[in-house]
Structure 1
Amino acid sequence: MTAPVLTSIVPGAGPLHASAYFVRLYLPLEFQASPPLPLPELNLKPDSWFSHCIAVRKFSGFARDSNVVKEAEKLAISLSKSPWANSTSDSKSAYSIAQYNSPFRFLGRQNEVWVDIVGSEANGCKSKLLASY
């Protein structure tokens, strides 16, 4: 399995306006030039991201609906107190959850909630910038 496994939440895109999601699996750099081909019946599509800034909040334990929503809310509160308060992206997804550990690992788990930031270069977001609020 790859790490992180990234699950993006798309509010209102599911049946009866429920939230939907899509899952991204990271392909290491060594395989990106000629990626393995998935089975056609899996209906998988490659997706590329350009370099961009994201706001991240780390949390431990298993990523469950109850704690992921709380962590996303805490990230939103932190962003509201930062220079990037009005810089969250208008992308399809509201937020993403990055999970770095196998489901068989019970202790020392690492997860993150991600939110895309737009216009971040103008607001001081650089690839090596770290801010905590």
Structure 2
Amino acid sequence: MTKRPRLSMALLAMVVLPNFLCVCNAIESPQYSVVHSESDFEIRLYRETSWMSAPVKDISFEKATRNGFHRLFQYIQGANLNFSRIAMTAPVLTSIVPGAGPLHSSAYFVRFYLPTKFQTTPPTPLPELSLEPYTWEGHYVAVRKFSGFARDTNIVQEAEKLATSLSRSPWANSTSEESSYAYSIAQYSSPFRIIGRVNEVWVDVNPSGLGGYKYSEIATS
């Protein structure tokens, strides 16, 4: 009996990934308005949104993100009391609370943005997944984009670059004291995508710290 030739992993990626990435580009994301823009960062105003959140305690951002997303992926594949399958959205957001655990470990919250269909009534996750619904009230976020993979080795540097940019802008004294997170990392790309990956650092900001500075909405997403 003649054996069928096997596709190499590289050839399989060439065949499958373009279609997969087209789907990724069309998936839902939370809506926002851009209220301030500079060459290396922008300020966005996000509407109130509902997410499903996976709390994780770990020293590693990468391990925490994998752990949290694994549980969230089970949830959207039907591991909920409704047995509902939920469409993938972007970004996958990992919020970091530094120094929250022993041995300098951190607390992380890996979050999945719920599609419009489930914004008001998210399916209840199975208890063993240890997930919890999270409502993110309307808020302002300073955002810096960066490429490549988000790693333990580069996320702190990217957050520091955003902090430096903010310190030189009218938003210098606007970091939100109400936020319990140092910063969040938003990842938009499939883990199988190598080139053209999109990530962002998010930091909550408060426009009340602007004093007399007047900003205007310049774009809407």
Task: Give the TM-score category using the shorter length.
Answer: 0.7 to 0.9
After superposition, the CA RMSD in angstroms is 1.8
Q: Relative to total residues, which structure has the larger strand share, 1 or 2?
A: 2
Tell me the number of residue pairs that the alignment of Structure 1 and Structure 2 aligns.
128
Q: C-alpha separation between the residues in 2 aligned to 1:11 and 1:61? A: 23
Q: C-alpha separation between the residues in 1 aligned to 2:185 and 2:218? A: 21
* TM-score of the superposed pair, with normalisation by structure 2: 0.54
Match of 1:97 in 2: 185
**CA apart distance, 1:114:** 0.3
Q: C-alpha separation between the residues in 2 aligned to 1:2 and 1:15? A: 33
**CA apart distance, 1:33:** 2.4
Match of 1:15 in 2: 102
Percent identity for Structure 1 against Structure 2:
70
Alignment of 1:43-122 (within 5 A): 43-90=130-177, 91-118=179-206, 120=207
The runs of at least 4 aligned residues of structure 1 exceeding 6 Å deviation read none
Q: Which runs of 5+ in 2 are unaligned?
A: 1-87
**CA apart distance, 1:101:** 1.1
* TM-score of the superposed pair, with normalisation by structure 1: 0.87
**CA apart distance, 1:29:** 1.5
Per-residue Cα deviation, 1:105-125 (whole angstroms, up to 9, x for no partner): 11111000000002x156345
The structure whose Rg is larger is 2
Match of 1:34 in 2: 121
Which gives a bigger RCO, structure 1 or 2 (Cα 8 Å, sep 6+)? Answer: 1
Cα gap change, 1:51/1:68 in structure 2, threshold over 3 Å: closer, same or farther?
A: same
Q: Relative to total residues, which structure has the larger helix share, 1 or 2?
A: 2
Assess if the C-alpha contact under 8 Å between 2:174 and 2:209 holds in 1: no
